[in-house]
Amino acid sequence: MSKQFILFLINTSCLYGAFAQNNYDVKLIPAELLPHANVVKRMEEIRIDIKDAGRATIYNKYALTIMNAAGDDAARFSEQYDQLISIQSIDGTLYDVNGKKIKSLKKSDVQDVSGTSESSLADDDRFKLHDFNCKIYPYTVEYETAIEFKGIFYLPRWLPVADENYAVEKSKLIVQCPIAYQLRFKTFNYNKEPQTSSVKLSQVYEWAVEKLPAIEEEKYAPEWYEITPAVFLAPADFEIQHYTGNMTDWKGFGKFIYALNTGRDKLPGNIKQQVHTLTDNLSSPKEKIKILYEYLQKNTHYISIQLGIGGWQTFDASYVATKGYGDCKALSNYMYSLLKEAGIKSYYTLIKAGENNNSFLPDFPSANQFNHIIICVPQATDSIWLECTSQTLPTGYLSGFTSNRNALLVDENGGTLVHTPIYKRSDNLQTRKINALVNEEGKLTAVINTKYRAQQQDDLHGMLEAISKEKVGEILKTQLNLPSYDITKFDYSDEKGTLPVVNEMLELTANNFCTISGKRLFITPNILNKASSKITGAATRKFDIKLPAAYTDIDSVEINMPAGYTPESIPANVSLDTKFGTYNATVKVSPGKIVYVRNLQRNSGRFPATDAVALSDFLSKIYTTDRARVVLVKEENK
């Protein structure tokens, strides 16, 4: 253990008290915590000692009892560090079911690995990793760490219940800071104020919980912090690598970001000339924006560069112009600079990117609510949004990666919260037409044409841009929900626009598509789009329902039947109209032909837990109807 950490313990022992030796015998776990628990947190104590606006030490001690193999991931130790975060010490111990010590952590047991991804040119992220690799259940792991922050741009969150099927015996968060320091915090599912006390020239805050039973998984649940106890922390005044700022409001935080990046929009002379060559003869600002965005896409590519304050401070525009690459900050700043040279006002914009990652605390300004930069170009009637890390997205389309969430526009006046575009269910459209033939052996031959629009095409677009056609073909061999099939031909094309489209053409054969029983042939007319979503435990649901992006699926299927068969049973038409969406499915059988039409329109939004039974009924009816079969019977020879 380092001398620095020993001094930290000495200085805080009178405040926090000495740690008692814990008994991790599994028999001591309260009985009410055992149901549904893969992991039981026996104890946790997080101490944050804030020395001033730029320095803090965090001490963390926790013990987890792993009840079964499903809890093994929780037992693995991982701690990130970089130029601004240093790990002072790590200790660990493994205990058996009776709480008897089996093994202590050795320094040589800890892995030290790079956190740099393949897309990173420079990244100072590293991780300390360890795993006792115990497979005799139950067992307990205990870890202690001391971590020093060199600059306080953000503070950790306290989430005692880390996951589903995870019970907590006791957990505590203690924050000590100078009396003059303004600690900001926001609590969830914690119905009292923190305990506070004063020690010499310090203020102490304490939150604690005990005996929290495990939460079972509920599909479409809200954000984790909305359903379990949580405390979010953030500074008011802060300092990071000699840069200072204040984040008590978004305006102040935006001013810091603007100051951090000011003066980095200077373009080389040849690039300025290129901007004017491209745009001077265009009268429409939208045309200028489009041509400059396409110029950016053709002449730059994304590479992550995250070093210290460089995680927030951009490389200047001339760097990108010379190198032809940059991270999201640098590419967005470069686009901002190109637009500025063309006389077009735009905003460097902070956002939290990620699929369905639209949770945000607008009343709690903090740095860790952002992980990405884009550009917003205001227009008379609307704004044009530009994702500057993509070389293929059309002008103005954000995709599910950054749509429908809060973002922070930054300029010299500070930060302003806005909301990015929402793609409606009519925008996120999938239309599919299938022409198929079924023979007497139950073999299916089909030509399938599908149009995927807006968020419906996001994943497919990304895959087509990332991998070869040969690899796409390999994926198609395993992707379709058919018992046995061969793709004999496939092709893709795209349509650029504010709502981009990917067109897919497949030709396939599927043996044993139909079930044969004597003289009967059983055909499922919904060939490819069978819903799989269901909700269990609806009657006892505890948490609200949060449905993700809205969408529409329209399937039209025409199946030519083998000669000599007539219908014996045809599924009834189904029509559903609920607050969660609408669904219609029709089957018509005429001589030699089955025509099937399916239209599903799913809504997004938040619904109370009491709606779970109705949602379950809606999804179950869709699930059943999607699998309904036409029964054909072979005519007797006369």
DSSP string, 174-223: EEEEETT--EEEEEES--SPPEEEEETTEEEEEEEEEEEPPPPP-TT---
C-beta neighbour count of 261 within 10 angstroms: 21
CA distance 187 to 196: 15
Residue 77 has what pLDDT?
97
Q: Which residues of the chain have pLDDT under 50?
A: 1-19, 118-122, 308
pLDDT at residue number 481: 87
Query: Residue 320 carries which DSSP code?
Result: H
Q: What pLDDT does 223 receive?
A: 95
d(CA 351, CA 369): 8
pLDDT of residue 381: 87
- Residue 241 — left, alpha, or beta (φ > 0 → left; ψ -120 to 50 → alpha)? left
Burial of 256 (0-12, 13-18, 19+ CB in 10 A): buried
pLDDT of residue 309: 65
138 preceded by a cis bond (ω within 30 of 0): yes
pLDDT for 307 equals 55
The pLDDT score that the predictor gives to residue 20 is 52
Closest CA to 66 of 77, 56, 58, 53: 77
How far apart are the C-alpha atoms of 513 and 443, rounded to whole Å?
6
Distance from C-alpha of 309 to C-alpha of 260, rounded to nearest angstrom: 9
**What is the structure's pLDDT at 119?**
46
Please give the structure tokens belonging to residue 328: 């999201």
Q: Which tokens belong to 240?
A: 């990071």
Give the Å distances, CA to CA, from 153 to 52, 53, 54, 56, 117.
Answer: 12, 9, 8, 11, 23
504 to 71, 397, 557: CA distances (angstroms):
41, 20, 16
- Residue 259 vs residues 61, 155, 218, 312: alpha-carbon distances, Å: 38, 22, 44, 11
> For residue 490, which phi and psi values (nearest 5 degrees)?
-150, 155
pLDDT tens by residue, 204-261: 999 999 999 999 999 999 999 999 999 999 999 999 888 999 999 999 999 999 999 9
Helix axes 269-279, 285-299, angle to 10 degrees: 130
Q: How far is CA 347 from CA 278, 350, 378, 412, in A?
A: 21, 9, 8, 10
Q: What is the pLDDT of residue 311?
A: 75
Q: Say what the pLDDT of residue 8 is.
A: 38
Question: Distance between CA atoms of 539 and 542, rounded to whole angstroms?
Answer: 9
Q: What structural domains and CATH numbers belong to the chain?
A: 3-243 (2.60.40.3140), 247-419 (3.10.620.30), 429-634 (2.60.120.1130)
73: amino acid identity, one letter: D
- CA dist 139 and 151 (Å) reads 37
Single out the residue of 141, 189, 221 nearest to residue 536, CA to CA: 221
H or E segment to which residue 270 belongs: helix 269-279
